[in-house]
Amino acid sequence: MALSATGGAAAVAEEDSGANLAETLKVGSYFALWYLFNIGYNIYNKQALNALAFPWTIATIQMATGILYFAPLWALGLRKAPKLSGADLKTLLPIALCHTGVHVGAVIALGAGAVSFAHIVKASEPVVTCAANAALLGEVLPMKVYATLLPIIGGVAIASMKELSFTFLALAAAMLSNVSSSLRGVLSKKTMSGKKIGENLDAQNLYAVLTAMSTLLLIPMMLAIEGTGFIPAFKAAVEAGSFTNKSLSTLLLLGGATYYLYNEVAFLALGKVNPVTHAVGNTIKRVVIIVASVVAFKTPMSTGSIIGSSIAIFGTLLYSLAMNSVKK
pLDDT at residue 14 is higher than 80: no
Give the pLDDT score at 2. 53
pLDDT tens per residue across span 178-229: 999 888 888 887 777 667 888 998 888 989 999 999 999 999 999 999 999 9
Read off the pLDDT of residues 97-146 as tens digits, 9 standing for 90 and up: 999 999 999 999 999 988 888 888 888 888 888 888 888 888 888 899 89
Q: How far is CA 35 from the centre of its chain?
A: 11
Report the alpha-carbon distance of residue 151 to residue 71 in Å, rounded. Answer: 43
209 near 216, Cβ under 8 Å?
A: no
What is the spatial distance between Cα 65 and Cα 262, in angstroms, rounded to a whole number? 13
pLDDT tops 70 at residue 12: no
Query: What per-residue confidence (pLDDT) applies to 19?
Result: 67
Q: How far is 45 from 131, CA to CA, in rounded Å?
A: 30
Q: CA-to-CA distance for 23 and 298, rounded, in angstroms? A: 37
Query: What was the pLDDT predicted at 219?
Result: 98
- Per residue in 191-200, pLDDT tens? 776 678 889 9
Contact 64, 256 (CB under 8 A): yes
Specify the length of the chain in residues. 328
CA distance 253 to 255: 5
Greater model confidence, 270 or 88: 88
pLDDT digits (tens, 9 = 90+) for 50-72: 999 999 999 999 999 999 999 99
pTM above 0.75, yes or no: yes
43 alpha-carbon distance from chain centroid: 14
Q: What is the mean pLDDT of the chain?
A: 86
Q: How far apart are CA 10 and CA 312, in angstroms?
A: 49
Which spans in the chain are helix H? 2-51, 55-65, 67-75, 86-112, 115-122, 125-132, 143-147, 149-162, 168-192, 203-226, 230-239, 245-270, 275-297, 303-327
pLDDT of residue 273: 67
Assess whether pLDDT exceeds 80 at residue 162.
Answer: no
**Which of 229, 197, 240, 251 is closest to 84 using CA atoms?**
197
